[in-house]
Structure 1
């Protein structure tokens, strides 16, 4: 049970998930699941290019970035410089391979969802790419995201239909892409002080893949998986309200 005794910006207004919705088919501690490094992409190039474009549009150049549940790649625009990129994850080998990270830390957010050793109001952007489906205590994680964001800072949650099925929480496993989007919106709304979440299924700016590269990606995917359908792009975006 989440305590709601604390009130005001950053406090948890309500629980989104029931106890049964937080369960996983594989209850093994996540640190063991991620013990072996996976230096592979978990989504196709078309999806990743849209993530990169979203980051280009929403993260200020020269800003400070926290990449939660990061890996060996962060999908940030390669031509944009940032003051600091802090990484987080469960595998030091993967994070050590990520050349965009200034530094990183290891933490199991399902065991220790809050009280991160990070200063309040210190990041312009927090990123969660293809990992929100594994959060068992999302309300407390999003409360902590609020704490570390600067006023006016943005949290960008991106996801597609790919996942480690046995490690996703029941609320995500049992849902459609629409219901999953609504779930992420509720995570934001459960914390006092975030703006109304914005759901996106595409980005408006220039694509980082040419039509030829996009077509080649589809062909490669067909020969690899038997499917020519690109991974669908979904994002939910919210900002930390500025203080009056």
Structure 2
């Protein structure tokens, strides 16, 4: 399996990526929530951070586990933003997205994109819901272009029943 931490590593307890609510995520997220897991100062900071760290001109961006707002500043002028998430209504309200993909990473961590597709992958306040983060992160590495950015932003706000145990 190469270098690095194996998903079966003794670093993680056997139940590290289990959750209080192991029911189907597609059912849980089928309800429109339109909530923000960040306060106004954090939202402003995230948008500024994304704008400063994504340096490519007209980048192609994947918003992983996207919702109704990608926090991508308009002046970034991406050539495309793919939103991968579970709630079609929320994704359709996201003005940043040029493409919507409904996909449950906890059921299948495979990202169905060719190698080196994206300049940047962002995951904003959703990493705490990943039950297979090592596999997802490996896939992100595959679909990023050389020198690409994988930006993971997290907060202490969450749906506790769906957050993995290692996160709490």
Same fold, TM-score > 0.5, yes or no: yes
Q: Could you tell me which of 73, 79, 85 is aligned with 2:75?
A: 79
Secondary structure in 2 matching 1:146: helix
1:141 to 136, 139, 146: 136
Q: CA deviation at 1:12?
A: 6.5
State whether residues 37 and 155 of structure 2, in contact with CA within 8 Å, keep that contact through their aligned partners in structure 1: no
- 2:6 corresponds to: 14
The runs of 5 or more residues in structure 1 that have no matched partner are 174-244
Output the CA distance in 2 between the equivalents of 1:19 and 1:96: 37
Secondary structure of 1:166's aligned partner: coil
- Off by >3 Å, runs of 4+ in structure 1: none
Q: How much does 1:150 deviate?
A: 0.2
More displaced 10-residue stretch of structure 1: 61-70 or 38-47: 38-47
Cross-structure match for 1:224:
none
Structure 2: stretches of 5+ with no match in the other structure: none
In the alignment, does 2:26 pair up with 1:31? yes
Residue matched to 1:169: 164
State the aligned residue count.
164
**Counterpart mapping for 1:26-175 below 5 A:** 26-59=21-54, 60-114=56-110, 116-173=111-168
What is the deviation of 1:13? 4.6
- Range 36-45 or range 159-168, more displaced: 36-45
Query: Are the aligned partners of 1:12 and 1:139 in contact in 2 as well (CA < 8 Å)?
Result: no
What is the distance in 2 between the residues matched to 1:78 and 1:86? 15
Are residues 54 and 109 of structure 1, via their aligned partners in 2, closer, same or farther at CA, if it must alter by over 3 Å? Answer: same
**Taking structure 1 as the reference length, what is the TM-score of the superposition?**
0.64
Contact between 1:12 and 1:140, CA under 8 Å: does it hold in 2? no
Preserved CA contact (<8 Å) 1:127 1:157:
yes
3-state SS of the aligned residue for 2:92? helix
CA distance in 1, matches of 2:23, 2:137: 23
Work out which of the two has the higher radius of gyration on C-alpha atoms and give 1 or 2.
1
Q: Deviations over 1:130-179 (max 9, x none)?
A: 00001111000000000100010010000111011111111001xxxxxx
Partner of 1:193: none
